[in-house]
Structure 1
Amino acid sequence: MERRHFLATGSGATALALAASAGLSPAQAQTAAAWNKLAFESKTLAEAAKAMGATTAPVESKDLILQAPEIAENGSVVRVGAQSNIAGTTQLALVVEKNPNALAALFDIPAGTDANVSTNVKMGQSSNVYALAKAGDKFFYSVKEVKVTLGGCGG
């Protein structure tokens, strides 16, 4: 229990220390944390895009490739990835439509690197999963339905 308490109470200080080691001032770190908080509290694709800076609705793109299984046998660990072939991609996000907080992951893409990410996400139920890419001031998405089964019996 002591370890959990330390992690829970120390997380803010740890984040601030990591931000400082990255060269951010405390004010910049708090601004970044507030921005991320808003994005991760989003309930829809549109809200997530708006929190990332979108002024117009995202547009579907074949140049944004979403890698996700058609069937996930364990909703606790679903491997999802996105690859953007859109020039100037600066952010990639993974959004799970029916999760309580839709935004599952957000990645900043440094200039000169491939816009290709993957991670495990948790899915409470079958849902549409979106890859969302920011390139310049435009946003693009790709979508795929992922069916979550319970014990391999369907869901």
Structure 2
Amino acid sequence: MTNRSRFLLLVLLVFCLNSVSCLESVEGFVGGIIILPCIYDQPLPAEVNAFWRDKNDLSVLDINKSSPDYNFQGETYRGRVSSFTDKYKNGNFSILMTNLQKDDTGRYECYVKTVSYRKIVDLTVSDKPAVTKTDRPSSGAAGLKELPLVVLSALCLLLC
């Protein structure tokens, strides 16, 4: 993948993550990681409350007074969900979910109570695709592989 292609893909990711759509679908693999996006692009007060809930209305992550609060987090999410606390001031309440399980499949809702904003994310978790052996260049160099979407999304969230 060329540098220009990478740049265009990153621009596309930024556009998608900042879209006005309040419903988004993301896909992940068992054992993998995924970012569930929740970005509010209007001015916010200094302290914000936001809440992530799953399909069963179980707490995935609470953000109280602009700080993550794990006190009421559902047991299934403990140690697997984190957020980007330094990005709250920019309206980014996205979460990172690790060690994905098939049971994680479903609808998630991010509700930014302070401004009555809702973002709904449909997550699909499937088995990892079969790994196939790829040929390496004859020079012995490994060559550049395409970066997984989740890595690019994470970079975008950190850089934007």
Please indicate, yes or no, whether the TM-score normalized by the shorter chain is above 0.5: no
Specify the TM-score bucket, using the shorter chain as the normaliser. Answer: 0.3 to 0.5
